A and B are shown apart, each in its own frame.
Chain A
Amino acid sequence: MGKIQLQSVTKAFGGVKVIPDLDLDIENGEFVVFVGPSGCGKSTLLRLIAGLEDTTSGTISIDGKDATHLPPAQRRLAMVFQSYALYPHMSVRKNIAFPLKMAGRNKQEIDKRVDNAAKILNLADYIDRRPGQLSGGQRQRVAIGRAIVREPAAFLFDEPLSNLDAALRVGMRLEISELHQRLKTTMIYVTHDQVEAMTMADKIVVLRAGNIEQVGSPLELYTKPRNTFVAGFIGSPKMNLMGGSDAKSHNADMIGVRPEHIDLSQSEGQWKGEVKVSEHLGSDTFLHVQTSDHSEPLTVRAGGEFPVHAGDTVYMTPQQDKIHRFDGKGLALR
């Protein structure tokens, strides 16, 4: 079980309110991702749930029981730190066994569980090494191993992949997703990378300055962003946002069109512009186009190869049913 509820939780450091007032329900077995720009309070929120920080007010309950004032060890949550926080003077085996040893389990059971975790995470070959002798990805796996042997109610991950190189990151992302499929335990995952959020989450929580901007499945956030912040944050490359006459003609203060929802042509279209930069990836072509109507260049994506280069003129037409409309406060109009 791992149902976590936050009710009117606030957190202030000194006089600075980092989390103003927040309600959130996390269902058992869900993979929830907290995403938001750096410094928006993601780690703080995770640490509040873990019990490493005290709430200023509000309640946190785990499996229906009030856990607001429980010490971390009694919340049955396991955390994987960004720095991995492995114990450097202990072997991999001892690292993974540590929580079991603290729980006073007997040696046979500890050995069995550690071996099992090592097998799941492909750590068997390094089991007697020290963390200092492992690569970043291996250390990450040890940290995860240390978390899974406890069979916690929920896993908490704080930007676990940000110290890995790009290729390893993709691999570990898959491994963590597979682990979730296999264990079906609640996971709360913090990242500033919307790609990680979109690919891994059952439910994404978008945060800005300690406020929840929107909660929903990845596709909900993509298709129905609640405001311009979410619209700009989710999706890569970013949604094109524009005001002025374009917005007026749609009865809005601001409209947004994703790069992949703009049709390109070399002969005709709604907007005419000059290509500033063209990125040819083979599978896709990304163009940054400066028009006379917009102050910012528009980003446009064409599937496959689109044969234009910097300095060429292109015409663009937004797909009418894919246009997002926003009011003066940035809230979506539906």
Chain B
Amino acid sequence: MATQNTTKVARAMMAPSVIALLIWMIVPLAMTLYYSTLGYSLYNPISTPFVGLDNYTYFLTDPTFIAALTNTLVLVVGVLIITVGGGILIALLLDQDVYGVNVVRLLVIAPFFVMPTVAALVWKNMMMNPVYGVIGQAMSGLGLAPIDWMTDVPLTSIIIIVAWQWLPFATLILLTSLQSLSADQKEAAEMDGAGALSIFWYITLPHMSRAITVVVLIQTIFLLSIFAEILVTTNGGPGSQSTNITYLVYQQAISFGDIGAASAGGIVAVILANIVAIFLIKAIGKNLDA
């Protein structure tokens, strides 16, 4: 499209922002890399000897690491399944032409505006508390034994809370996509003998594939680094049942005062995020091509 000349000019014009962006990213990354090679304890910050890869060995062989890695992936996948699945269902409902759908749309979007800490605390104390919580009360009312969510199923609880926060985002993107599906196509499929399920499977779902990809990619980036929800609800526990990589890094740095190991953990998290990104782009990136 562009001539060689315009390409050159474009590169020159873009250079300052690209360089600024590089510095912005490279400097913290380089410093993290640097700290990850030091024996740096907050309890003895005077001496920071070079220890090579010891911090990495320590972080990766820590039994909590495997648990945290698993928890991170379970958290991401669990939330994705709930938000994409639930988002599609809610979007299908909101796409109907029924009275009051505009108000319902607004209500569905609302959780997105609640801060993560607030949302998590509300869920912990008002919904999932076994004695006072709405869910506990309802279960007691039905004669069932209430669940102590944060103790018995900590990771599931966090998945529910995070999914609740991200469901509006998924719904919104999927609804927009759904509304751009031409009525003609659905009518053509209807005349071709497709029932409601076939229309959904062969027409609607492929039409939404790009939006679903966007939702999965964007959410994955944020879900890999979930932190506040864990901090204010379970503190990663009981044990390490709800500790993810981000929370583990935080623990290394703040609870154990081990900046070296925390930096190594940060680098591991970056590598993990890249592996996940490459995997996702390979798996579903083709949906983004026009």
A87 proximity list for chain B (CB < 8 A): 185, 188-189, 202-203, 206
Instruction: Report the nearest A residue to B290, measured CB to CB.
Output: A132
Residues of A close to B62: CB separation below 8 A? none
B190 located at the interface, meaning its Cβ lies under 8 Å from any Cβ of chain A in the complex: yes
Taken together as a complex, chains A and B put the C-alpha atoms of A257 and B190 apart, in Å, by 47
Residues on A with beta carbons closer than 8 Å to the beta carbon of B46: none
Give the residue among B184, B188, B198 with the most A Cβ atoms within 10 A: B188
User: Known contacts being A87-B202, A87-B203, is A99 close to B193, with CB within 8 Å?
Assistant: yes
Residue A166 at the B interface, CB < 8 A? no
Residue with the highest number of chain B CB atoms closer than 10 Å, among A71, A78, A102, A103: A102
Provide the bound-state CA to CA distance between A265 and B98, in Å: 68
Q: Given the complex, which residues of B lie within 8 Å of A50, measured CB to CB?
A: 191
Closest B residue to A78 by beta carbon equals B191
Interface membership of A81, Cβ < 8 A: yes
A253 vs chain B, min Cβ distance (A): 45
Complex: chain A residue closest to B210, CB-CB: A89
Assuming the contacts A98-B202, A102-B198, asked whether A83 and B182 have C-beta atoms less than 8 A apart, the reply is yes
Q: Which residue of B lies closest to A75 (CB)?
A: B191
Tell me the complex Cα distance, A87–B191, Å.
13
- Tell me whether B192 is interfacial, beta carbon within 8 Å: yes
A52 CB-CB contact with B under 8 Å: yes
* Residues of A close to B95: CB separation below 8 A: none
A12 adjacent to chain B (CB < 8 Å): no
Asked whether B232 is an interface residue with its Cβ less than 8 Å from the other chain, the reply is no
Q: Is B194 in contact with chain A by the CB < 8 A criterion?
A: yes
- A77: Cβ under 8 A from any B Cβ: yes
Cα-based distance from A85 to B191 in the complex (angstroms): 11
> Closest CB-CB distance, B210 to chain A, in whole Å?
10
The residues of B that contact A86 with a CB separation of less than 8 Å are 185, 188
Tell me if B209 and A99 are in contact (CB < 8 A): no
Output the nearest chain B residue to A80 by Cβ-Cβ distance.
Answer: B188
Interface string of B193-211 (1 = CB under 8 A from A): 1100010001100110100
Contact partners of B203 in chain A: CB under 8 A: 87
What is the distance, in angstroms, from B195's C-beta to the closest C-beta of chain A?
8
By a CB distance below 8 angstroms, the chain A residues around B185 are 85-87
How near does chain A come to B104, taking the closest CB pair, in angstroms?
Answer: 23
Judge whether A52 and B187 touch: CB under 8 Å.
Answer: yes
When the two chains form their complex, are residues B192 and A89 in contact, meaning their CB atoms are under 8 A apart? no
The answer to whether B184 and A102 have CB atoms under 8 Å apart is: no
B contact residues, range: 10 to 19
Contact A81 B184 (CB under 8 A): yes
Asked if B187 and A73 make an inter-chain contact with CB atoms under 8 angstroms apart, the answer reads: no
Report B290 CB to chain A, min CB distance, Å: 8
Q: Taking the nearest CB of chain B, how far is it from the CB of A51, in angstroms?
A: 8
Given A98-B202, A102-B198, does the pair A85, B182 have CB atoms closer than 8 Å? yes
**Does residue A301 face the partner (Cβ distance < 8 Å to B)?**
no
Q: Which residue of A lies closest to B209 (CB)?
A: A89
- With a CB–CB cut-off of 8 A, which chain A residues contact B191? 50-52, 72-73, 77-79
Please tell me if the beta carbons of B184 and A83 are within 8 angstroms of each other in the complex: yes
Write the nearest CB–CB distance from B213 to chain A, whole angstroms: 13
Residues of B within 8 A of A81 (CB): 184, 187-188
Q: Are A52 and B190 in contact (CB under 8 A)?
A: yes
Chain A residues near B192 (CB-CB < 8 A): 73, 98-99, 102, 146, 150
Closest to A83 in B: B184
Question: Chain B residue with minimal CB distance to A82?
Answer: B184
CB contacts (< 8 Å) of A102 on chain B: these are 189, 192-194, 198
Residues of A within 8 A of B189 (CB): 87, 98, 102
- Residues on B with C-beta less than 8 A from A51 are 191
23 contacts across the A-B interface (CB closer than 8 A): A52-B190, A73-B190, A77-B191, A78-B191, A79-B187, A81-B184, A81-B188, A85-B182, A85-B187, A86-B185, A87-B185, A87-B189, A87-B206, A89-B206, A90-B202, A98-B189, A98-B194, A98-B202, A99-B192, A102-B192, A102-B193, A102-B194, A146-B192
A interface, CB within 8 angstroms of B: 50-52, 71-73, 77-79, 81, 83, 85-90, 98-99, 102-103, 146, 150
Q: Would you list the 5 A-B pairs with minimal beta carbon distance, nearest first?
A: A85-B184, A99-B192, A85-B188, A102-B193, A73-B193
